[in-house]
Copies of this chain bind each other. A is one copy, B any other.
Amino acid sequence: MSKTHTLYQHGTLALLVPGLLDGTITMKELLKHGDTGIGTGEGLDGELIILDGVPYQVDHEGNVNVVNDDFTLPFANSHFAEYKRLTDIEELSQAELDKKIGAMTSANTFYSIKVHGTFTNIKTRAVKKSHKPYATLGKTAEDQSIFLRESVEGTLLSYYSPQIFDGAAVGGFHHHFLSDAHDFGGHVLGFGGATGNVEIQQFDTLEQHLPIHNKDFMNYDFSDWDILGEIHNAE
């Protein structure tokens, strides 16, 4: 197993659903598993994107902050970048991009996509940090800010997970964005047109880490929840 063939994941999307939002991994630890990644902070404190080993947070006011080693997260992905050129794209919407990549790539394993270029009519969101006792994901995510740009240069960082892992991860694509000027980004809700180059990195291993020292998580009874339904409403 090569390190660059492994996608690391801390936590699951499922645990966010009932509001298990404690930060259970530090950024320092997360960066040991990759120089590239995405995530959210404790209490859904903004949207994280790690590029070239630097962890950026887009907070609910739209500010882009570099976070410290002791910043904690309930859910995150990271990996060591070794992307390969896939294709060039011109004026593709998010749905068109997802479809084009899907047609070029197996749907049955995990991979990451990195697109650098110009994005038009791009819409992102970032949630406002909540505090204990946490509300559910659905409730907390209502307190989100939406950001829009007509045209912006930047990097789209995405993870694709096979449908069978939906619930643990996001089945399908999960896109985060950061502008080159570090003044815009977040969890991507959509874009009208992306023009630039697409790189891909395919994984053969998911290293799924769970917060077994977090009592709220370990004692939680998930059986009453429609976890997948709630995730798809919130994402």
Contacts and interface: CB of A to CB of B under 8 A. Distances in A.
Contact of A207 (B162, B207, B219): B207
A22 B205 CA distance: 19
A165 interface: yes
Interface string A85-127: 0000000000000000000001111100000000000000000
Interface string A148-166: 0000000000000011110
A102 to B, nearest CB: 11
The size class of the interface chain A forms with chain B is 20 to 34
A120 B202 CA distance: 48
Nearest to A215: B106
B12 A210 contact: no
B109 A222 contact: no
A108 B217 contact: yes
23 contacts: A12-B164, A107-B222, A108-B210, A108-B217, A108-B218, A109-B210, A109-B212, A110-B210, A164-B168, A164-B227, A165-B168, A202-B212, A204-B209, A204-B210, A205-B207, A205-B208, A205-B209, A205-B210, A206-B207, A206-B208, A206-B210, A207-B207, A208-B208
Given A14-B164, A109-B212, A163-B223, 8 more contacts: A106-B212, A106-B218, A108-B217, A164-B227, A202-B212, A205-B209, A205-B210, A207-B208
